[in-house]
Amino acid sequence: NVQFLSSSFTSRKFIGKIQTAESIRISVKQDITEVVSVGIENCINSYESTVGEASFYGKTNIRLLYSDGTNLCSSSYNADFTASIQSELLTADSKLTFDVVTVDSKADTNANTATISVLLEVSVYAYVAQSTPYFADGEDIYVNKQSVEVLEHANVVNLPMVLDEELTASHNISTVLLAECSLCAGNYSVHDGVLQISGSGSARLTYLSGGEIVTDTLPFDFDRELEVDDGMAECQLRLTLCPKTTKVRLDISEGDVNTTFTMEIGAMVTVEATKIGVMDIVTDAYGSGCDFGFTRQTVTTTIPCGSTVCRKTVNASLPVEKDKRPLTAVNVGAIVTNAQSREKSAQVDGVVYATLLYGTENGYIGEQLELPFSQTVDVDYLMPQCKSHARVTVMGISVKDDVTLDLCITVDAEREVCYTVIVDAEEQPFDKEQLPAIEVCLAHKGETLWNLAKSLHMSQEDLQKEEARMEAASDSSG
């Protein structure tokens, strides 16, 4: 009378990394004499998974700042890219997430055309479900059960989101050069099939005002509601915001003060929804008149360890000469190189990058800034054996006397747990006359009540009663 159930043990697996190259041609009206700065943002829009392979589709946003020999000019361009990865872990039902990093970029010019060569590195993760029968219970036998936590369900959805923010610049805007945006989700939850997201944003507008370059960092708060499956209300969520496009709408009137503008931000919201459950599995069993031969199998599952979102201010010295001060920093971003789990905290290391703009007698030049950082982030319930994933968004940067960074750091952690389950049981009868007499059954150090009861093929309750009876008989005769 052995009862088996079937369940899926889900785990989040690292599928692998691939590199893909792009060559993007941008044509402008003027001849390009020098490329001053190139900003690159990448985002995966969608994917298709089949047995053994997954194809994904993304978009690269290029922000180009260049000189035509007299003036500083800009242009932006969106390019699509596709790539694929192969793995025996992938199925048609796999739920995937991606991390995209720009490894290298180069700009070549010819007359009025710039060719931007980009090398991307894409890390792919998948929620993999392992369907396994397991020994759950039995009748007329004795079973030893263990309650375990498992990841029962995982889903990944990509939701487009658009923000329209009306902002005011500090100076009169004559020409917009670059528009950048950073987003940081503070709180999110699902109620009645609606994903509610609230967070902070930072718009960075670089423009010409009276012939001078000005960069304004304009913070704003946002609240958005997106339709999702109602079942997500019962799940634990992991959310990633990826800006895709940034557009500026500005009505310039001759002789008027032009400071008000609208920034339209297109973003992709990736939601990982996971559901944790508790199940009882049988780890051992025997009968009063039989033993069992078991076939066991190891299964893995992923359990969340904790997550947090925090803001950090980082100060550092400018790696330039004292008499050489940049006008501003543009095309700002950050990458995480390592995230190490500790007891209730995570150590996050990475690099902030930007282009520092300088004014010279011959026009404007740009120099690349790479600034390493290392920050400790408090995370409740985090343990050293957990694996942390971190994302860093630069919400603000100041390059006056030194460098001041406003960083939004998001940490999500998980741990992989392995269980051994019984997937088959074969009854093995035995000769009851070979059982030891209870009067001479002695417990050894470290032996459990379960092991003693199993060796006698009786219940733990009956063994305890027999032990109590024998102690009482010994006391009365003593």
The predicted structure's pLDDT at residue 456: 78
Q: Is the Cα torsion angle 429, 433, 439, 442 positive or negative in sign?
A: negative
State the CB neighbour count (10 A cutoff) for residue 296. 12
What per-residue confidence (pLDDT) applies to 437?
54
* pLDDT one digit per residue (tens) for the chain, 478 residues: 789 999 889 999 999 999 999 999 999 888 899 899 999 999 998 999 999 999 999 999 999 999 988 888 999 898 999 999 999 999 998 999 999 999 999 999 999 999 999 999 999 999 998 889 999 998 888 999 999 999 988 999 999 999 999 999 999 998 899 999 999 998 999 998 899 999 999 999 999 998 889 999 999 999 999 999 888 888 999 999 999 889 998 876 666 778 899 999 999 999 999 999 999 999 999 988 888 899 999 999 999 988 899 999 999 888 766 667 888 999 999 999 999 999 999 999 999 999 999 888 778 889 999 999 999 999 988 999 999 999 999 999 999 878 999 999 999 999 999 999 999 999 888 766 665 555 455 556 656 888 888 877 888 888 777 766 666 656 665 5
Among residues 372, 409, 373, 405, the alpha carbon closest in space to that of 389 is found at 409
CB 167 within 8 A of CB 263: yes
Q: What is the pLDDT of residue 341?
A: 95
Round to whole Å and give the CA distance between 184 and 391.
10
What's the pLDDT at 397? Answer: 94
As given in the structure block, the two tokens for residue 74 are: 């800009």
Say what the pLDDT of residue 473 is: 59
Per-residue pLDDT tens over the stretch 241-295: 999 889 998 876 666 778 899 999 999 999 999 999 999 999 999 988 888 899 9
Which strands make up the sheet holding 212-227, listed edge to edge?
A: 175-191, 194-209, 212-227
> What pLDDT, in 10s, does the model give residues 76-101?
898 999 999 999 999 998 999 999 99
Amino acid at 120: L
Token pair belonging to 467: 């032990």
Contacts of 195 (CB under 8 A, 6+ apart): 159, 188, 189, 225, 226, 227, 228, 232, 269, 271
Contact assessment for residue 456 and residue 430, using Cβ atoms and an 8 Å cutoff: no
Determine the pLDDT at residue 429.
80
pTM for this entry: 0.88
Task: State how far the Cα of 288 lies from the Cα of 432, in Å rounded to an integer.
Answer: 9
pLDDT confidence of residue 349: 96
* Of 151, 183, 161, 447, the residue nearest 299 (C-alpha): 151
Strand order in the sheet with 290-316: 290-316, 403-429, 387-399
pLDDT tens, 209-248?
Answer: 988 899 999 999 999 999 998 888 889 999 999 998 899 9
Cα-to-chain-centroid distance, residue 115: 32
Residues 6+ apart with CB under 8 A from 434: none
What's the CA gap between 70 and 138, in Å, rounded?
Answer: 85
Give the per-residue pLDDT at 310.
Answer: 94
Look at residue 238 in the predicted model and tell me its pLDDT.
Answer: 92
